Chains A and B, each alone.
Chain A
């Protein structure tokens, strides 16, 4: 047999040269098919192994197998190089101007009144107070009579009450409203005291935040505003507990240990004894009032021991149950803590104001993180 022996080194050299000059991945694929495809030259060589004698195969097989291995490796290497070149080219074409601004995030906000109410709920929750609510369109009995403010009482004149036309009734079961006294917009959150005491067995610890209304409008008064009421009824509650509760609350609210309170005797028909509470403040270098210290005083709270008549009006035995109540303005607390100076802006819905004085959705007041944001 004088068949031509394939010149494997030559073939390798030729194929390697073809791989080397292959243009792009497609060219390389053509070389691969030419060499290793079904009818490729290397594949053909491999097929000849079958017809060889064992001896011949022993010498030829390593050469041919080696050729296939080398060509495969050369192909892989070249493919990797070509792919890298393609990637580099793509990256070079994919440049963007990263200085351009992304879409603006939406700036939602929580109103300061809501935020402060959440803060108060958090502080008082720690003291075991639940949050109670009541209607804003109230009857005369809950707003006045049950709170020991009879019709002729001079204190009624202090409440500039909004009334509805007489004859229009809503709540039934108000013991003394059957005489057709007109319904009104509650002038304080105190009727919630009555609603709580008439619906719940003591011991009671509640706060009642909400909208309140008085016919008053000037720089510091709006006809609608927010109050928060506190009520504790138990067997042995004293003014000492009232004092501690208010001190604890205001220290936690303003997050200052130097909050100083001054209790002054005062008068509210629904408490006896009654105390007005001043909080000490100082003036900072920008002329703003900062709560803390005792340089100046401002009135922030009305409070006292719940009047026996009020307890009795709620069908509780005033010889068994006693306690304290307090009330203050939520808007006012917000202004003192966060430095707003115009109450009317609270109710205007000016986006600029809401964003400046408002709070992020995630500023959830917690005791561990602080109730201020």
Chain B
């Protein structure tokens, strides 16, 4: 919301300087987003007289001017404006001046071989208007000001303040509301509304007039003749529709003071009648609409739209309407998307003579829904959907009438009041002690009363107050709101910083076992040389298809590349790996801890992608590609870091389809509990993900890892290192070439529960001496004796147990 300092002062009687006003606005919650003073930005432009205008020797359309800019010696300026002439007074910019309208800082230039030392400017070049048919042509009243800054002379030295209005503060979407807040904060006094809008001497003693039961501030303008036939058939969407006509008006340009204000805040003046509605909306936060009577047929009715109805709005676009929307229509057509935007057809034009002024109340929720549905933003919608003052219809209409009469003449009719605006005021009890209880600062009751009254609240009683909320503060509906009001005026700075008390008892860990496990895995992965990435949760449909069906697709994605919620971390990580390889990275190890989005919920997952070479080329070797065992190593190591019982893991079933069927595996605890998958990516998957060459991947399904059972304390099992040395025995077994060696190892490991402490495969061989269709697996076993050394007999028993276990697993002892 933009306004100028002088505009603010129409409502606020204050001595405060600009900085104080800006600081106070922000402290009140009306955050200043910017302030700009054209008087300063246009400081370089000076009033100048053209003392000579001659022809340019080399160009028909250019003139050669001698300009007196108050510096003594006249300056030579080449000028292309048709209205440039000897004796005229205009606006001059010397070299070095920044010209905002053309975004150029002037330099001395040669134009068609003739030097030019500056520029005579149009309004557009100063961004004062769109006018650029000629240069600014000032009248002789500027004669005494030649050489002076133009902006100051023209009254442009008026800072434009831009504030952000939070959605609850509709009352500050008008300059007067801002002034009221500032006055309440002690920055002067709020001028009576009548002072701005009613002729002097019309104020009654208490400042209010009685109009059909309402107390209003603006002296009503008596009407002649019956008011227009306006009705509301949709009391839910448009509970009140007030209107009156003014006949015999003369439309045309609005007066300079109004145009100047509108322009200063970036509103384009259109015509007196349109400018009046815009002005009142910004000045008082009260949207209005003016119809050209000549284009209406029959009564003007607020009603629900019919499905399929259309309206060409003032923004030049046609909108399709439905029965959830409130419109204003006559017998023939829809003329207004109620409270949002008027229709083109009945809009006022320069030759309009009879107008109907609408001042209505539209229900905020309805406006919001309609606006969202039509994707139509407007200044009126923003105000109506936040809830305009329901008690200001009468005043609003009188203000509009007065402005129309003053600027366009004409004769007003009586006012027609269809429907009744909602009751705007509410009353509730408020205990001033609540300010300390909620806000943490003890503001004396008297000060609270003062603050609330200054904001327009009615305060009765001494103990708990009975507070009447003003009609323009729809947002206030409870004691916490009043605490906020008091604190806004008192200043949030007054809230003392108060330490939280330490919770009683011992400080227990705040992280859950899940969180601790995740942290361990993350740190372990980084310690193993993996780089943590964070990739998008949503990927393209094609990427998602690589890892199977994805149940969650956005209805309104930001792009097709970010449409489908991932069911695997692999596609995103592969894409990141691919980008790194494309940038020349030789070796990529990425991991991510994030969620997969499945039909029945979100699953915490750790994904790994290895691509390129395992290590850089090195004089001791290196530069070899990753293989599937690298992926397995990472998966196992991180599972171990997560506390999974890695020695109990089994390789069961096939990994998902995006893995190479012969070079992948699933790590399980029993057939139903899949803890991880790993392997080389399926060549088709790599291809689908645009990856040249192979990549290894692994996914750990974190929530499938059993959490270690809490033993209820920190004590560990008693342990003393054994005194005797372990004994090592090697075995070699033949198994079928396509049989998993891991199964054999698992069987051997389980051969003895007391003494066998380790079993490792140290050789895999299928060359000479090994029958076709077989492979030889060499296993080293380690036996730990107890109190006494093993006897030969005991060792034989252990060996036999190993051989027997291996046989059960299909292993035949090699002779």
Give chain A residues whose Cβ lies under 8 Å from the Cβ of B503: 128, 203, 205
For residues 490 through 542 of chain B, which have their beta carbon under 8 Å from a beta carbon of chain A?
492-493, 495-500, 502-503, 507, 509-512, 515, 519, 522-538
A95 interface residue (CB < 8 Å to B): no
- A240 touching B496, Cβ below 8 Å: yes
A141 interface residue (CB < 8 Å to B): no
Q: Mark A118-147, 1 if CB is under 8 A from B, else 0.
A: 100100110111110001110000000000
In whole angstroms, what is the CA distance A318 to B776 when docked? Answer: 74
- B524 touching A118, Cβ below 8 Å: no
In whole angstroms, what is the CA distance A182 to B577 when docked? Answer: 35
- A121-B511 CB under 8 A given contacts A247-B497, A276-B31, A349-B576: yes
In whole angstroms, what is the CA distance A364 to B488 when docked? Answer: 42
- A241 touching B498, Cβ below 8 Å: yes
- A127-B439 CB under 8 A given contacts A103-B615, A170-B601: no
- A349 touching B168, Cβ below 8 Å: no
A215 interface residue (CB < 8 Å to B): yes
B459 interface residue (CB < 8 Å to A): no
Q: Mark B534-563, 1 if CB is under 8 A from A, else 0.
A: 111110000000000001111111100010
Closest to B487 in A: A273
- A164 touching B554, Cβ below 8 Å: yes
- A154 touching B555, Cβ below 8 Å: no
A265 interface residue (CB < 8 Å to B): yes
- A107-B553 CB under 8 A given contacts A154-B385, A272-B480: no
- B500 touching A128, Cβ below 8 Å: yes
Partner of A361 from B436, B526, B597 at Cβ < 8 Å: B526
Interface centre among A135, A150, A216, A240 (most CB of B within 10 A): A240
Give chain A residues whose Cβ lies under 8 Å from the Cβ of B366: 152
Closest to A203 in B: B503
A224 interface residue (CB < 8 Å to B): yes
- The smallest C-beta distance from A45 to any residue of chain B, in angstroms, reads 45
Q: Mark B364-392, 1 if CB is under 8 A from A, else 0.
A: 11101100100000000000011000000
In whole angstroms, what is the CA distance A346 to B585 when docked? Answer: 18
- A232 touching B500, Cβ below 8 Å: yes
Partner of A243 from B497, B523, B536 at Cβ < 8 Å: B497
- A137-B602 CB under 8 A given contacts A106-B529, A110-B532: yes
Stretch in contact with the other chain, from B21-29, B55-63, B147-155, B748-756? B21-29
Give chain A residues whose Cβ lies under 8 Å from the Cβ of B178: none
Stretch in contact with the other chain, from B120-128, B463-471, B588-596? B588-596
- The smallest C-beta distance from A172 to any residue of chain B, in angstroms, reads 11
Interface SS of chain A: helix, strand, loop or mixed?
mixed
B194 interface residue (CB < 8 Å to A): no
Give chain A residues whose Cβ lies under 8 Å from the Cβ of B483: 273
B196 interface residue (CB < 8 Å to A): no
A305 interface residue (CB < 8 Å to B): yes
Give chain A residues whose Cβ lies under 8 Å from the Cβ of B553: 164-165
Stretch in contact with the other chain, from B396-404, B617-625, B693-701? B617-625
Give chain B residues whose Cβ lies under 8 Å from the Cβ of A158: 167
In whole angstroms, what is the CA distance A267 to B488 when docked? Answer: 12
A288 interface residue (CB < 8 Å to B): no
- A111-B495 CB under 8 A given contacts A152-B364, A305-B480: no
Q: Count chain B residues whose beta carbon lies closer than 8 angstroms to a beta carbon of A.
A: 100
Q: Mark A137-180, 1 if CB is under 8 A from B, else 0.
A: 10000000000001111110110001111101010000000000
Partner of A355 from B166, B478, B531, B556 at Cβ < 8 Å: B531
In whole angstroms, what is the CA distance A238 to B502 when docked? Answer: 15
Interface centre among B29, B438, B531, B537 (most CB of A within 10 A): B531
- A360 touching B526, Cβ below 8 Å: yes
- A361 touching B531, Cβ below 8 Å: no
- A265-B488 CB under 8 A given contacts A165-B553, A240-B441, A351-B531: yes
B440 interface residue (CB < 8 Å to A): yes
- A354 touching B531, Cβ below 8 Å: yes
Give chain B residues whose Cβ lies under 8 Å from the Cβ of A224: 536-538
Give chain B residues whose Cβ lies under 8 Å from the Cβ of A164: 552-555
B226 interface residue (CB < 8 Å to A): no
- A114 touching B532, Cβ below 8 Å: yes
- A358-B532 CB under 8 A given contacts A239-B438, A244-B498, A349-B573: yes
- A241 touching B532, Cβ below 8 Å: no
- The smallest C-beta distance from A303 to any residue of chain B, in angstroms, reads 11
Give chain B residues whose Cβ lies under 8 Å from the Cβ of A223: 536, 538, 558, 562
- A152 touching B365, Cβ below 8 Å: yes
For residues 259 through 316 of chain A, which have their beta carbon under 8 Å from a beta carbon of chain B?
263-267, 272-276, 305, 307-308
- The smallest C-beta distance from A116 to any residue of chain B, in angstroms, reads 12
In whole angstroms, what is the CA distance A232 to B503 when docked? Answer: 12
Give chain B residues whose Cβ lies under 8 Å from the Cβ of A127: 500
- B510 touching A130, Cβ below 8 Å: yes
Q: Mark A337-373, 1 if CB is under 8 A from B, else 0.
A: 0000000001111111011001111101000000000
B437 interface residue (CB < 8 Å to A): yes
Q: Mark B437-464, 1 if CB is under 8 A from A, else 0.
A: 1111100000000000000000000000
- B580 touching A351, Cβ below 8 Å: yes
- A129 touching B510, Cβ below 8 Å: yes
- The smallest C-beta distance from B597 to any residue of chain A, in angstroms, reads 6
A65 interface residue (CB < 8 Å to B): no
In whole angstroms, what is the CA distance A129 to B597 when docked? Answer: 28
Give chain A residues whose Cβ lies under 8 Å from the Cβ of B510: 121, 124-125, 128-131
B738 interface residue (CB < 8 Å to A): no
In whole angstroms, what is the CA distance A168 to B554 when docked? Answer: 11
- B622 touching A135, Cβ below 8 Å: no
In whole angstroms, what is the CA distance A322 to B18 when docked? Answer: 39
In whole angstroms, what is the CA distance A136 to B166 when docked? Answer: 27
- A131 touching B511, Cβ below 8 Å: yes
- A273 touching B500, Cβ below 8 Å: no
Partner of A211 from B537, B551, B562, B588 at Cβ < 8 Å: B537
B484 interface residue (CB < 8 Å to A): yes
Q: Mark A239-253, 1 if CB is under 8 A from B, else 0.
A: 111111101100000
- B597 touching A162, Cβ below 8 Å: no
Give chain B residues whose Cβ lies under 8 Å from the Cβ of A182: 555
- A263 touching B493, Cβ below 8 Å: yes
In whole angstroms, what is the CA distance A211 to B133 when docked? Answer: 55
A104 interface residue (CB < 8 Å to B): yes
- B439 touching A239, Cβ below 8 Å: yes
Partner of B533 from A131, A273, A354 at Cβ < 8 Å: A354
- A241-B552 CB under 8 A given contacts A108-B525, A264-B29: no
B238 interface residue (CB < 8 Å to A): no
A109 interface residue (CB < 8 Å to B): yes
Closest to B366 in A: A152
- A131 touching B515, Cβ below 8 Å: yes
B169 interface residue (CB < 8 Å to A): yes
- B497 touching A244, Cβ below 8 Å: yes
- B527 touching A361, Cβ below 8 Å: yes
B565 interface residue (CB < 8 Å to A): yes
- The smallest C-beta distance from A308 to any residue of chain B, in angstroms, reads 6
B426 interface residue (CB < 8 Å to A): no
- B495 touching A263, Cβ below 8 Å: yes
- A350 touching B555, Cβ below 8 Å: no
- The smallest C-beta distance from A242 to any residue of chain B, in angstroms, reads 8
- A240-B495 CB under 8 A given contacts A103-B615, A154-B386, A348-B576: yes
Give chain B residues whose Cβ lies under 8 Å from the Cβ of A248: 499
Give chain A residues whose Cβ lies under 8 Å from the Cβ of B441: 239-240
- The smallest C-beta distance from A149 to any residue of chain B, in angstroms, reads 10
Interface centre among A157, A237, A273, A305 (most CB of B within 10 A): A273
For residues 595 through 638 of chain B, which have their beta carbon under 8 Å from a beta carbon of chain A?
595, 597, 599-602, 615-616, 618-620, 622
- Contacts A164-B553, A264-B31, A348-B576 aside, 10 further interface pairs with beta carbons under 8 A come to A107-B531, A110-B526, A130-B511, A137-B597, A152-B369, A154-B167, A154-B385, A223-B558, A272-B484, A349-B576
Interface CB pairs A-B, < 8 A, 10: A110-B526, A128-B500, A154-B368, A247-B497, A265-B488, A266-B31, A267-B168, A349-B576, A350-B576, A359-B526
CB-based closest 5 A-B pairs: A106-B529, A349-B576, A240-B440, A265-B29, A238-B440
